[in-house]
Amino acid sequence: MTPTAPFVKPSVLPGFRLTIAFTLLYLTLIVLLPIGALLFRASSLGVHEIVALALDGRTLAALRLSFMTSLAAAAFNVPFGLLIAWVLVRYDFPGRRFFDAIIDLPFALPTAVAGIALTALYAPKGWIGSIAALAGLKIAFTPVGVFLALVFVGLPFIVRTVQPVLGELDRELEEAAATLGAGRLRTVASVVLPPLTPAILTGFALAFARAVGEYGSVIFIAGNIPYVSEIAPLLIVIKLEEFDYAGATAVAAIMLAISFATLLLINLIQARARARYGHV
């Protein structure tokens, strides 16, 4: 009765064959085929060529800037994301629901809008930029601006991965630690943070992956000065505009490799967390 492909557990529910076939077809057409085309192009370039293109000073500088500012922004977001998740889960205060909703703003706000808004804010004449200028600091059109844009983009990833885990954390664990004599800070450090670690790492990796590829919110504030504040995704666009398809493909292949590595890392973290903590 039920269509039973050899790899599916029999079920009385209908529609598996239809939906899985459609899912795989759509996935192939929209995602796998185009990415396959990129990988195909990259492989026809060969590793040597890719490395040679990547080791070009300007490309290397762009990749390094993207990588380092993304790491820094994700790392910066960890303590603040944790703090915000903690405050939203544990405390009730006026406006809590509003602030909870606003966390997703970087998800919902178009990147170009965020980009021009951040630029207006941090530019030397902007609200924050003018204050920074008094202290002799330049934010917009420097790597600091890139970093701040990536902080904006990455924040929700940390908060939204930590928040549900923190919410489900059994208060009994903290009570148990207290009955055993642990003070509050000790309890939080030794009993609350360890179970949150997989979520924190996952959030960090997601924020990093997003930041490395981010384009719209960064290019306005970056100023895009070669060797200084030019990010890797922009380099792809520039190479495309110069009809340098090989160059664009090489940079994209490297970025795709970073994406895949990050995805793999996230899956490893989660598999380890499941194996370790199980269900107690």
Partner 1 sequence: MSDGSAAFAVSTGEPIAKAVTARPPARRLPTEEAPWVRRLLIGLAVGFLGLFLLLPLVTVFMEAFRKGAGAFLAAFADPAAVDAVLLTLLVAAIAVPANLVFGVAAAWAIAKFDFRGKAFLVTLIDLPFSVSPVVAGLVYVLLYASHGLFGGLLQSAGIQIIFALPGLVMATIFVTFPFIARELIPLMEELGNADEEAALTLGASGFRMFWTVTLPNVKWALLYGVLLCNARAMGEFGAVSVVSGHIRGYTNTMPLHIEILYNEYQFVAAFAVASLLAALALVTLGIKSWLEHRYAGDLAAGHRH
Partner 2 sequence: MELDIRNLVKTFGTTPALHGVDLRVESGELLALLGPSGSGKTTLLRCVAGLEIPSSGQILFGGDDASFKSVQERQIGFVFQHYALFKHLSIADNISYGLRVRPRRRRPTDAAIRARVEELLELIQLPGYGGRYPSQLSGGQRQRVALARALAVEPRVLLLDEPFGALDAKVRKELRLWLRAFHDRTGHTTLFVTHDQEEALDLADRVVVMNAGKVEQVGSPEEIYDRPATPFVFDFIGESVRLDIRIDKGRPFVGQQQVSIPKLPPLLFDGPARLYVRPEHVAFRRDGEGLWATVVSLHRSGSSRRVGFRADGSEALIEALTPADREPPRIGDRAALEIRAAGLFAG
Residues 195-234 binding partner 2 (CB under 8 A) are 195, 197
Answer yes or no: are the C-beta atoms of 251 and 243 closer than 8 Å: no
Residues 94-153 binding partner 1 (CB under 8 A) are 95, 97, 99-118, 120-121, 126-128, 148, 151-152
Q: How far is the CB of 13 from partner 1 (least distance, A)?
A: 5
Q: Which of 65, 88, 144, 200 binds partner 1 (CB under 8 A)?
A: 88
Closer CB to partner 2, residue 26 or residue 277?
277
Answer yes or no: are the C-beta atoms of 160 and 203 closer than 8 Å: yes
Closer CB to partner 2, residue 128 or residue 182?
182
Nearest 10 degrees: Cα torsion 211, 216, 219, 222: -50
Which residue in 270, 101, 83 sits closest to 158, CA to CA? 83
**Interacting partner of 56 out of partner 1, partner 2, none (Cβ under 5 to 8 A depending on kind):** none
Give how far Cα 110 sits from Cα of 107, 140, 194, 216, 217, Å: 8, 19, 35, 8, 8
Residues 47-76 binding partner 1 (CB under 8 A) are none
Quote the CA–CA distance of 11 and 159 in Å, as a whole number: 37
Q: How far is the CB of 171 from partner 2 (least distance, A)?
A: 9
Torsion sign, CA atoms 232, 240, 259, 100: positive
Q: How many residues bind partner 1 (CB under 8 A)?
A: 97
Candidate segments 51-59, 130-138, 196-204, 259-267, binder of partner 1 by CB under 8 A: 259-267
Q: How far is the CB of 79 from partner 2 (least distance, A)?
A: 20
**Interacting partner of 195 out of partner 1, partner 2, none (Cβ under 5 to 8 A depending on kind):** partner 2
Length of the chain equals 280
Residues 150-189 binding partner 1 (CB under 8 A) are 151-152, 155, 171, 174-175, 178-179, 184, 187
Q: Is 272 in the site for partner 2 (CB under 8 A)?
A: no
- Could you give phi then psi for residue 94, rounded to 5 degrees? -60, 130
The type of residue at 84 is I
